[in-house]
Structure 1
Amino acid sequence: MTRRILDHIGDRWTVLIVGALGDGDARFSELRRRVEGVSQKMLPQTLRGLERDGLVRRTGPPRSPE
């Protein structure tokens, strides 16, 4: 678990996303505006990893199956 957290901390998008969430909860589209330059692929991918490792919690409608 420690290794996963360190991997996240060292990731550019993780740092920017967690920083953007420091202002409070955000809808996906709002988060995309807050994190300048993040692609449509990297934002959900990074959020899924953070959620999987218990660093963020997703609320709202359930995700569609992948």
Structure 2
Amino acid sequence: MGLVVMLAVAVFMNMFNLVFGAIGGFVHSMRLCFVEFLPKWYDGNGREFMPFTLKIEKHVTLGKIR
């Protein structure tokens, strides 16, 4: 039983390592693209980013409610 659990954990951890290694390679290549390649043609002129906001006013009533 212990050998089966050990092998299952070893296989899972190796797959985990393989997936994160692949993701790491993708993220690094995208970083190189965005940080070192694209700024050569980026102007930076345009509108400032203004995210959508939902204004919620919260009121607390103290005392009796009529």
The TM-score by the shorter chain falls in which range?
A: under 0.3
- Radius of gyration: which is bigger? 2
The structure with the greater share of residues assigned to helix is 2
Normalised by the length of structure 1, the TM-score is 0.24
Query: Which protein has greater RCO, CA pairs closer than 8 Å, 6+ apart?
Result: 1
Normalised by the length of structure 2, the TM-score is 0.24
